[in-house]
Amino acid sequence: MRALVLEQFGTPLILRDVAKPTPGPGEVLVRIIASGVNPLDTKIRTGKAAHAQTHLPAILGLDAAGVVEAIGPELATPRGVAGPDGVGGAWGGFAVGDEVFGLVGGVGERQGTLAEFVAVDARLLARKPAGLSFREAAALPLVFITAWEALVDQAKIREGQRVLIHGGAGGVGQVAIQLAKAVGAEVFATGSPASLRVIEELGATAIDYTTSSIEEYVGKYTAGAGFDIVFDTVGGEVLDNSFKAAKRYDGHVVSALGWGTHSLAPLSFRSGTYSGVFTLHPLLTGEDRAHHGEILREAAVLAERGLLRPRLHDGDFTLDTIAEAHTLVEQGQATGKVVVDL
């Protein structure tokens, strides 16, 4: 098969002919139709993502949508019959020809999705929503799983809560807005002047962080009480500021980029709580992989109900033009999720 290979960090991806993988126990072979490009992919390529534990040479790419080509051992369970984990839809429910999507590799020692085929732990997959194209489905896995783990698993989002999302026009931020709206929360999101329109089109109240201080928008939108949930998708100083925006006593701050050194004092003075998410953990360790499949099935339900749809960058990219796709993402010039067509 054709695949893009990273031989040294900081060098271009090289298009090569490599061996087509064979699905092992609990795996399916997926013919990749589309591969989503995330900022993390570009950081891995340049050697700026030690937490991804990438072993070279490597095939990068985290997200994929495609068609099941073959079934590995342990998965020859008829439809509707429970597989090894007791859930027919997770292990035993896939058949050749099924359209699927998932966060499947590209970190650790797992092959990524910038290739024509990939052998995938079936627990990581869900069936592609009929209402989404392969390109749209490939844009969702990493960002939706991150948003779900933050808002649902960690913050326990509920209907009627006031939720503040930092970086509302980013990949995670956009789906987080849609997820929070679907739950019935009142959603506010920060962004630059150029991104405010996108945030408003998604149904959130847009906050220009370049002109409004934390004190100003906390006062304006919560009468100084603070937000029930603050979701930080940016990190650094934005996370520090998030601690000042949480509701007193029961406010919760959750971050997907809480890797720096931060003072918890502002949050402690508000008697709030904090948690972080590390979406790559199941891929790197093998633990809790079935939960990723469960989350993507929830994404499929929302998509079929018309409550979830990713915004795509208006541009065509292939394995031959991957450098252009990565540059666009690195420079922050994409107008939506960049997707590579296989």
pLDDT band at 80 (very low <50, low <70, confident <90, very high): very low
Task: Say whether both 243 and 151 belong to one domain.
Answer: yes
Give the domain CATH number at 95: 3.90.180.10
How does pLDDT run across 260-303, given as a tens digit for each residue? 889 888 888 888 999 999 999 999 999 999 999 999 999 999 99
Task: Say whether both 202 and 226 belong to one domain.
Answer: yes
Are the beta carbons of 118 and 248 closer than 8 angstroms? no
Radius of gyration of the chain (CA): 20
Helix and strand element counts for the chain (H, E): 11, 14
How does pLDDT run across 141-179, given as a tens digit for each residue? 999 999 999 999 999 999 999 999 999 999 999 999 999
Give the domain CATH number at 194: 3.40.50.720
Return the pLDDT at 335.
Answer: 85
**pTM for this entry:** 0.94
Return the pLDDT at 75.
Answer: 73
Task: Say whether both 60 and 35 belong to one domain.
Answer: yes
Nearest Cα residue to 122 out of 309, 292, 298, 305? 292
pLDDT band at 35 (very low <50, low <70, confident <90, very high): very high
Return the pLDDT at 76.
Answer: 55
Distance CA 290, CA 275 (A): 22
Does residue 89 surpass a pLDDT of 50?
Answer: no
Task: Say whether both 27 and 135 belong to one domain.
Answer: yes
Where do the H-state alpha helices sit in the chain?
39-45, 134-138, 141-148, 171-183, 196-201, 214-222, 237-245, 265-269, 281-285, 289-304, 322-330
Task: Say whether both 271 and 331 belong to one domain.
Answer: no
Expressed as residue numbers, the domain containing 124 is 2-140+282-341
Are the beta carbons of 96 and 30 closer than 8 angstroms? no
| Mean pLDDT on 90-95 | 67
% of the chain beyond a pLDDT of 90: 87
| Structure token pair of residue 298 | 């929830």
Does residue 91 surpass a pLDDT of 60?
Answer: no
Name the average pLDDT for the chain.
93
